[in-house]
Amino acid sequence: MTLLITNANQLITLASASKKARTGKEMTELNIIENGSLLIEEDRIVAVGTKEELQEQHPELMEKAEILDATGSVVMPGLVDAHTHLVFGGTRENEFQMRLNGATYMEIMNAGGGIHATTKKTRESSFDHLYEKTYAHLNDFLRHGITTVEAKSGYGLDWETEEKQLQVAKKLQENHTIDVVRTFMGAHAVPAEYKENPDAFVDLIVNEMIPKVAELGLAEFNDVFCEKGVFTPEQSRRILLAGKEHGLIPKIHADEIEPYEGAELAAEVGAISAEHLLVASDKGIQAMAQAGTVAVLLPGTAFFLKAASARGRLMVDEGVPVAISTDFNPGSSPTISLPFIMNLACMNMGMTMEEVLTATTINASYAINRGNEIGSLESGKKADVLILNVENYQQLQYFYGMNHTKTVVKNGKVVVD
């Protein structure tokens, strides 16, 4: 099928000669075509430009193209959510009330709630139940313009359930319109069974789970919650290096609640990304800039935990490539609304509207090793495209808390209209 999206008020291409995640000033360069058009053949972008330019370059394709009129609208790449805990059993609204009454996230977790509560529910849930529940969440993501989602395991903390979560994500990748990219996160918490001997749980992850994940091709990435009272930097290093040996790319939940030199560790082990970073140190930020580690910032989590956000402004200024994601999970960020999270990045992290668009498209795609495939509207890339009900991109953040998604094109097909 050939598709032509025409007459966009602004066609935000995010195209660039740079073939890596954008840093510094590059994050403000949206590369906008006014009155722009975009030509798609099958699942790929053929060309972007004005209608006249496309007519000249591709007269035959233009002749047979089906037309999608984007007059008065903004057209941009599909949003990429580079950090979610997508597959989980149950919900935790009871803990939300406890936190509103003054309990902290860590207090609830240490008392057997938090990740442990969701682990219990996820262990009890059947494969089919998890699949149906997650399918519905993905529908919601898609309606909000998200076309690729990263999904972490980590609510099993035993092999059987970790595998179940990853298999659910795999089947969703096969059957749902959204692309689902898998991360193994067996090191999300120390389960009750290992409370007295956490190193034995690390042994289990390193010696048994990671090799099986790799052998079965269940994930591309390996993540760990490096946090005081969860996994130490030493344990985290061991887990990430073991994953690397088996071809799993390191990611890390770093410096979320207390400073723990997680950002430094991310740079040291060559992690593709470090995530959260609410309390990352100056030194850690500089190390990440040096190493080119993508900072995946999650201002929705800070909002929902009533914590101060990560220092996004400083990170951009220091040359760290920044991405922004939802952290969708049942405890610290139960939302699929990446558009709302983008607004929080402007409000609470001092990022500009341009930087925020870069952070949720091209930089997010680099955080999940998809920078060559998605995240910008360029010839040869996957045709994941949004038509938005706004006149200019600034209105996306200005009219906040709303869903501006009008049409979603995924792999060259209209999937939301």
Q: Binding-site residues, please?
A: 83, 85, 92, 155, 188, 253, 256, 327, 329, 331-332
CB 323 within 8 A of CB 310: no
Site for Fe ion in 327-356 (CB under 5 A): 327
Applying CB under 5 A, the site for Fe ion has a residue count of: 1
Residue 113: left (phi > 0), alpha (psi -120 to 50), or beta? beta
3-class DSSP assignment, residue 26: helix
- The amino acid occupying position 180 is V
Give the nearer residue to Fe ion in terms of CB position, either 333 or 407: 333
Smaller CB separation from Fe ion, 82 or 213:
82
340 or 393: CB nearest ligand NIG: 340
For 203, how many CA atoms within 13 A lie in the half-sphere containing its CB?
5
Pair of tokens at residue 296: 């995946």
Q: At what angle do helices 159-175 and 115-124 cross, to 10 degrees?
A: 70
At 269, which helix (H) or strand (E)? helix 262-269
Q: Which residues contact 180 (CB under 8 A, 6 or more apart)?
A: 86, 138, 148, 149, 150, 151, 169, 170, 172, 173
DSSP 8-state secondary structure symbol assigned to residue 28: G
250 binds, options ligand NIG, Fe ion, none, Cβ within 5 to 8 A by partner type: none
Binder of residue 331, out of ligand NIG, Fe ion, none (CB less than 5 to 8 A by kind): ligand NIG
The one segment of 21-29, 71-79, 319-327, 336-344 that binds Fe ion by CB under 5 A: 319-327
Task: Round to whole Å and give the CA distance between 378 and 36.
Answer: 13
What are the tokens at 412? 């060259």
Binding partner selected for residue 301 from Fe ion, ligand NIG, none, CB under the kind-specific 5 to 8 Å limit: ligand NIG
R_g of the chain computed on alpha carbons: 21
CB of 81 to Fe ion, least distance (A): 11
Residue 180 CB, shortest distance to ligand NIG, in Å, is 17
Least distance between ligand NIG and beta carbon 44 (Å): 34
Contact in structure between 402 and 337 (CB atoms under 8 Å): no
| Residue 73, contacted partner among ligand NIG, Fe ion, none, CB below 5-8 A by kind | none
How far is residue 6's CA from residue 148's CA, in Å, rounded to a whole number?
A: 24
Which residues are CB-contacts of 389 (< 8 A; sequence separation ≥ 6)? Answer: 73, 404, 405, 406
What is the Cα 139 distance to its own chain's centre? 16
The binding site for ligand NIG (CB under 6 A) comprises 85, 114-115, 118, 225, 253, 256, 301, 327, 329-332
Task: Name which of 22 and 188 has its Cβ closer to ligand NIG.
Answer: 188
Q: Which does 36 bind (CB under 5 to 8 A by kind): Fe ion, ligand NIG, none?
A: none
Q: Which one of Fe ion, ligand NIG, none interacts with residue 236, CB within 5 to 8 A by kind?
A: none
Token output for 395: 């209105």
**Least distance (Å) between residue 401 CB and Fe ion:** 22
At its nearest, how many Å lie between Fe ion and the CB of residue 225?
A: 8
Identity of the amino acid at 337 = S
Binding-site entries for Zn(2+): 83, 85, 253, 327
Whole-number minimum distance, CB 83 to ligand NIG, in Å?
7
Q: For residues 81 and 327, which CB has a smaller minimum distance to Fe ion in the complex? A: 327
Interacting partner of 381 out of Fe ion, ligand NIG, none (Cβ under 5 to 8 A depending on kind): none
Q: Please report whether residue 255 would count as binding Fe ion according to CB under 5 A.
A: no
Region from 113-121, 161-169, 171-179, 324-332 binding Fe ion, contact rule CB under 5 A: 324-332
Cβ of 398: how many Cβ atoms within 10 Å? 13
For residue 133, give the 3-state DSSP assignment: helix
Least distance from C-beta 54 to ligand NIG, angstroms? 43
Enumerate the β-bridge partners of residue 75.
11, 387
Report, in Å, the least distance between residue 333 CB and Fe ion.
8
What is residue 112's three-state secondary structure?
A: coil
Smaller CB separation from ligand NIG, 311 or 410: 311
Binding positions for 4-imidazolone-5-propanoate: 92, 155, 188, 256, 332
Report residue 353 as tokens. 């509207």
Shortest separation between residue 303's beta carbon and Fe ion, angstroms: 14
Q: How far is CA 120 from the centre of its chain?
A: 25
Between 224 and 353, CB nearer to ligand NIG:
224
Q: Residue 332 or residue 405: which is nearer to ligand NIG going by CB?
A: 332
Residues engaged in binding Fe ion (CB under 5 A): 327
